[in-house]
A and B are shown apart, each in its own frame.
Chain A
Amino acid sequence: RSPGAPPQPAEAGPGGSAAAPARPRSAATRPRSAPGSGRSSRGAPAGEMGLEPLFQAWSYFRRRKFRECADVCSQILERPPSEQAAWNLKTRALTEMVYVDEIDMDQEGIAEIILDENAIAQVARPGTSLKLPGTGQGGGPSPAVRPVTQSGRPITGFVRPSTQSGRPSTMEQAIRTPRTALTARPITSASGGYVRPGTASMITNPDGPFINLSRLNLPKYAQKPKLAKALFEYIFHHENDVKNALDLAALATEYAQFKDWWWKVQIGKCYYRLGLYREAEKQFQSALKQQDMVDTILYLAKVYLRLDQPVTALNLFKQGLERFPGEVTLICGIARIYEEMNNISSAAEYYKDVLKQDNTHVEAIACIGSNHFYSDQPEIALRFYRRLLQMGVYNCQLFNNLGLCCFYAQQYDMTLSSFERALFLAENEEETADVWYNLGHVAVGIGDLNLAYQCFKLTLVNNNDYAEAYNNLAVLEMRKGHTEQARALLQTASSLAPHMYEPHFNVAILSEKVGDLQRSYTAAQKSEEAFPGHVDTQQLMKQLKEHFAML
């Protein structure tokens, strides 16, 4: 062992000598950062933990503390010479603060919908267009059981930024459709959906914009690929300045001699935002030839969907699945397209495939759950929503759905506490209105009509435009015998929501009882338009036609 002893001091030697320069180095960094750091209001001052500021900033970035990262970078940049690395990092941190996945961003403005020049056929064959939902080819629950949205499609279990558009057919309907989640004001053009240029800086950098785009020398940055990529993302996502972003991307791709697939995808994204869908398609296809990536397939499918070619998008996804077997985003894309085309059975099949690959996929679970609920299987729906709860999803919508499923599955002990939790978690008045509306249904179910009346009234207090609540209040008033009030409420309901068949049918019944056959006939016609398969409407129309024939 004695021969082994001498190496130890020798090891300690280099170790000790390594430690010695390290200590003076950290001591040197401390005075350097002390005058600049001061006390920042958020988090510990840079350098206090003994970390070099740039490393500190990078560590914040990795832990997704973007504001602290940006602050530390600003401090580094204040002192000359300003490091390019700090500039790059700050750019990326500011972008990440406002980044929303571009694949999901699909806000269609009214101008894009009504003045659409991309339609290929004037009247599309059934099953080939997203604008015409199709005549129940999917065999899902009918509107007699499942509520429909303004576009005539049944409400889905999951909503993304793109599902809110709904593709209305007339200008009037387009203006009526609520476009933002918070307000009901319509967005007039596509740029309205995104955070407007300049406002992102208000959120991320209250002292003023970090990069002044008008003074940027784009050709200079285009020749530095690493800086250019961060800068492009900043301009595209943070500043929402598509034109400048496109200029930068064009210069950069030229500099890269058209061999970099990433720049082609970015140019495609810019063209998509500008509405140049065919050019975007070319860019994405060229990028796919160079490098096969799932993201590029998703962007290309988005282009095809915007061009109203769902079958092409489906084929693209299926070919993509051959190259990327089991890829969840592609299967989910197929399911979404089937759901938009109103083919609920195929959509359910593909959502089940998604769950085979990823059994925590929230969208698939929510959609299958809502399909089961409306197929008269609330117990199975309850299992799906319980799974979401186990996964940690905790919001108003989930507890509302749990409450409904518990009630209709006859688990009455959990019903009211779920609804109470839903009310507590509601973030705005529209969500509160929805919960009170469903509570009204529970009250009708247990026979407490006074409670039901109060619940529907509370719905209207929270959201004055709730057509379903007006309709149900009318039914309750009719039971008490207040015909005129019922008629007024039904009038409001039918004008607020002409796509629903219930108010029209109820007006028809009321008018027929009173003897106003003409009004009854027009209302029955509207009800048939909204829901052609409704048996009672058809019987009523037959009766009225017999009456008129006798006259």
Chain B
Amino acid sequence: MPEGTGALREVLPKQGTGGELRPALRARPGTRSRPFSPFAGQLSVEDMPALVLCKPKILPLKSVSLEKLEKLQKAALDAAQAAPPPSAGAAPPRQ
């Protein structure tokens, strides 16, 4: 995962200007005698800090006790909600 480093923006020279000599054309275009560097011709570097994303979340697993506790809390909640409505619903049908 890439760290939050700034993105680089290279400023390359415009075509036809600049003081560099144009390299001579090769007889066979496939061969190279000098090693290639992508930074050749680079004049300046600007460090533009990018916005950072929040990281992906590994979800913690729950313990057996926690699962049982949640189950009990849910059952208690359901039992508490189930108790009042039947008493309210029983009255009207009698009339």
A6–B8 alpha-carbon span in the complex (Å)? 104
Asked if A161 and B1 sit within 8 Å, CB to CB, the answer is: no
Is B65 at the interface (CB under 8 A from chain A)? Answer: yes
Q: Classify chain B: how many residues form its interface, as a range.
A: 35 or more
Contact B65 A161 (CB under 8 A): yes
Is the Cβ of B54 less than 8 Å from the Cβ of A147? Answer: yes
- On chain B, the residues within 8 Å of A98 by CB distance are 72
Contact flag A158-B52 (CB < 8 Å), given A144-B3, A195-B73:
no
Q: Which residues of A contact B94 (CB under 8 A)?
A: none
Number of chain A residues close to chain B: CB under 8 A: 68
Interface string of B35-51 (1 = CB under 8 A from A): 00000000000010111
CB of A158 within 8 A of CB of B80, answer no
Q: Are B66 and A156 in contact (CB under 8 A)?
A: no
B53: chain A residues within 8 A (beta carbon): 441, 444, 471-472, 475, 502
> Is B61 in contact with A506, judged by CB distance below 8 angstroms?
no
Among B6, B58, B65, B66, the residue within 8 A (CB) of A401 is: B58
Q: Are A362 and B61 in contact (CB under 8 A)?
A: yes
Interface check A345, CB cutoff 8 A: no
The chain B residue sitting closest to A159, CB to CB, is B60
* Residue ID in chain B nearest A206 by CB atoms: B79
Given A101-B65, A502-B53, A509-B49, the answer on whether A370 and B58 have CB atoms closer than 8 Å is: yes
- Chain A residues closer than 8 Å to B52, beta-carbon distance: 475, 502, 505-506, 536
> A residues within 8 A CB of B89?
none
Known contacts A158-B60, A199-B79; is A147 also within 8 Å of B55 by CB? yes
Q: Which residues of B contact A180 (CB under 8 A)?
A: 73
Chain A: CB-nearest residue to B61: A366
Within the assembled complex, what's the spacing in Å between the Cα atoms of A536 and B3?
A: 11
Closest A residue, CB atoms, query B68:
A100
A215 to chain B, nearest CB (A): 24
User: Across the interface, do B72 and A540 meet the contact criterion of CB distance under 8 Å?
Assistant: no
Taking CB atoms, residues of chain A closer than 8 Å to B70 are: 181-182
Are A202 and B49 touching (Cβ within 8 A)?
Answer: no
The residue that A540 contacts in the complex, of B3, B49, B54, with Cβ under 8 A, is: B49
Name A156's contact: one of B6, B54, B60, B75 (CB within 8 Å).
Answer: B60
Q: Is the CB of A500 within 8 A of B54?
A: yes
Tell me, yes or no, whether A211 is within 8 Å of chain B by CB.
no
Q: Determine if A112 is an interface residue (Cβ-Cβ < 8 Å).
A: no
A–B pairs, 30, beta carbons within 8 Å:
A100-B65, A104-B63, A145-B1, A145-B3, A145-B55, A147-B54, A147-B57, A159-B63, A160-B63, A161-B69, A163-B60, A181-B69, A182-B73, A195-B72, A199-B79, A200-B76, A202-B76, A202-B83, A203-B76, A369-B58, A400-B59, A408-B1, A437-B56, A438-B56, A468-B55, A502-B54, A509-B50, A534-B4, A536-B49, A536-B52
Known: A146-B55, A157-B61, A536-B49. 17 other contacts (CB 8 A): A155-B58, A160-B66, A182-B77, A195-B76, A199-B80, A203-B79, A362-B61, A363-B63, A395-B61, A395-B62, A400-B58, A438-B57, A441-B56, A444-B53, A502-B53, A502-B54, A536-B52
